[in-house]
């Protein structure tokens, strides 16, 4: 069954915080937390949607509430891990590693660009962080799916 929150481009809304982590050097202090707010809103929407669907499907069942809460709990856990925690952590490491490499590297080659107002030491970590996002989506989703199978079962 098609899941708009996991099988469509809307899935990338859950990755707003990764964009925030990649753009950390450019954003004001409230910028990265705001992107986590966008991702959390996505997680909440998916959680409510899944819980309400189960609630409606279980009409007449004695354990209707338990079913809805169980599905909502599984959804919020999956989304927080697959959309917020692991990807945000990974992008933060990519950006920090790039910053560390630049701090230890001979960046004299960038002086001509810096003279033109191009801050390569801010641009490169951002680009590497953004470039990593498409490559981490499926592996993280698959790993969290496998962990969910073990912990929640299906």
Mean pLDDT in residue range 10-14: 86
* Domain membership flag for residue 1: no
CB count, 10 Å around CB of 72?
19
* Domain membership flag for residue 3: no
Instruction: With both helix axes pointing from N to C terminus, report the angle between 120-151 and 86-104 in degrees, rounded to the nearest 10.
Output: 150
Query: What is the rounded distance in angstroms from the CA atom of residue 37 to the CA atom of residue 23?
Result: 15
Query: What is the rounded distance in angstroms from the CA atom of residue 35 to the CA atom of residue 32?
Result: 5
Mean pLDDT in residue range 28-48: 97
Give the torsion sign (CA, 79, 83, 88, 90).
positive
Overall domain count for the chain: 1
Query: What is the rounded distance in angstroms from the CA atom of residue 86 to the CA atom of residue 78?
Result: 11
* pTM of the predicted structure, to 2 decimals: 0.86
- Residues 114, 120 contacting (CB under 8 angstroms): yes
Look at residue 89 in the predicted model and tell me its pLDDT: 97
* Domain membership flag for residue 80: yes
* Domain membership flag for residue 50: yes
40-79 pLDDT tens trace = 999 999 999 999 999 999 888 889 999 999 999 999 999 9
* Domain membership flag for residue 2: no
| Choice between 128 and 108, residue whose per-residue pLDDT is larger | 128
- Domain of 13, in residue numbers: 9-151
* Domain membership flag for residue 33: yes
* Domain membership flag for residue 4: no
C-alpha angle with apex 136: 133 to 137, nearest 5 degrees?
Answer: 90
Query: What is the rounded distance in angstroms from the CA atom of residue 51 to the CA atom of residue 69?
Result: 6
Instruction: Kindly tell me if the per-residue pLDDT of 154 is higher than 60.
Output: no
CA 80 to chain centre: 8
Q: In which band, very low, low, confident or very high, does the pLDDT at 149 lie, cut at 50, 70 and 90?
A: confident
Look at residue 62 in the predicted model and tell me its pLDDT: 87
Q: Could you tell me what percent of the chain has a pLDDT over 90?
A: 76
CB count, 10 Å around CB of 36?
15
Instruction: Kindly tell me if the per-residue pLDDT of 105 is higher than 60.
Output: yes
H or E stretch at 67: helix 64-79
- Residues 137, 11 contacting (CB under 8 angstroms): yes
* Domain membership flag for residue 69: yes
């Amino acid at each position: 069954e098609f899941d708009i929150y996991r099988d469509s481009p809307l899935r990338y809304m859950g990755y707003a915080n990764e964009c925030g982590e990649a753009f950390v050097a450019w954003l004001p202090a409230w910028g990265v937390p705001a992107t986590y707010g966008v991702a959390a809103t996505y997680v909440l929407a998916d959680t409510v949607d899944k819980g309400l669907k189960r609630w409606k499907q279980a009409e007449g069942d004695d354990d209707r509430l338990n079913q809805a809460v169980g599905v909502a709990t599984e959804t919020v856990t999956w989304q927080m891990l697959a959309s917020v925690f692991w990807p945000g952590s990974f992008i933060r490491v990519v950006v920090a590693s790039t910053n560390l490499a630049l701090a230890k590297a001979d960046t004299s080659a960038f002086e001509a660009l810096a003279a033109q107002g191009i801050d390569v030491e801010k641009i490169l970590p951002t680009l590497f962080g953004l470039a990593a996002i498409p490559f981490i989506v499926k592996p993280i989703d698959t790993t969290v799916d496998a962990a969910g199978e073990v912990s929640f079962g299906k």
